[in-house]
Amino acid sequence: MNLANHIITYHSTAIEGSLLSADETRLLLDADIVPEGKPICHVMMVKDHNSALKYILETASLKKPITVELIRFINALVMKNTGGICNTPLGQVDVSNGEFRKGNVSAGGSYFPGYDKVERLLKELVLSLQATMQMISPTDTEKQLNLSFTAHYNLVSIHPFYDGNGRTSRLLMNYIQAYYGLPLGIVFMEDREEYFSALRESVKKDDIQPVRLFLYKEYEKLSH
């Protein structure tokens, strides 16, 4: 397994609260060695993310278009063993099956679109991504990266699921990067607070630029 895959899984799950270290993540994924004293839900979070990462790399290599179903399936893989049934006034939602939320949510002081807008917004996002991917030149790396960062921000801003939105959005970013044969981007655990701050600033200003600048900075760290 590519070492970069371990690193991506470690950082993406650590951002969401996993207590596994980078070495514990590597041993778990390479040798199925479960670290002692760590919550089983964190172990399963790591395994699920890695399964989703392998899936998006395989699917991107086949040049499959981004669809609503693809995004839902990525989320289902991310939440496969840590999701559960969420009871809402509008009925049950199986969080482990990529089902859309049936309630309104907020995080970090930001309120996301109403649940009744999720499906429409996600369809609009997918159509926009499909159209843009058809127009971008295979050699235009800057536009390819910009699209991956835009997809990440727009998906996390819609927040279509009850859980796993951040991991799913970062995997969508990676999907587009893999689709174009680019190195995969990472949001580093040590930059977690700056990441959330950039997201909040972009939401507050209704401007993707703060997130885009942050993600470019993270991407440049990979070459050092």
Pick 3-221's CATH classification: 1.25.40.10, 1.10.3290.10, 1.20.1560.10, 3.40.640.10: 1.10.3290.10
Which residue is associated with the tokens 């596994």? Answer: 20
CA distance 22 to 18: 11
Number of neighbours of residue 146 by Cβ within 10 angstroms: 18
User: In whole angstroms, how far apart are CA 182 and each of 60, 211, 222?
Assistant: 11, 19, 12
Active site residue 159: yes
**Beta-bridge partners for 106:** 111
pLDDT digits (tens, 9 = 90+) for 85-129: 998 888 899 999 999 999 988 776 778 999 999 999 999 999 999
pLDDT 10s digit of each residue in the chain, 224 long?
444 789 999 999 999 999 999 999 999 999 999 999 999 999 999 999 999 999 999 999 999 999 999 999 999 999 999 999 998 888 899 999 999 999 988 776 778 999 999 999 999 999 999 999 999 999 999 999 999 999 999 999 999 999 999 999 999 999 999 999 999 999 999 999 999 999 999 998 999 999 999 999 999 988 76
Which residue is associated with the tokens 């159209």? Answer: 131
Active-site pick, 6, 152, 159, 224: 159
CA distance 151 to 128: 10
Phi and psi angles of residue 110, each rounded to the nearest 5 degrees, phi first = -105, 135
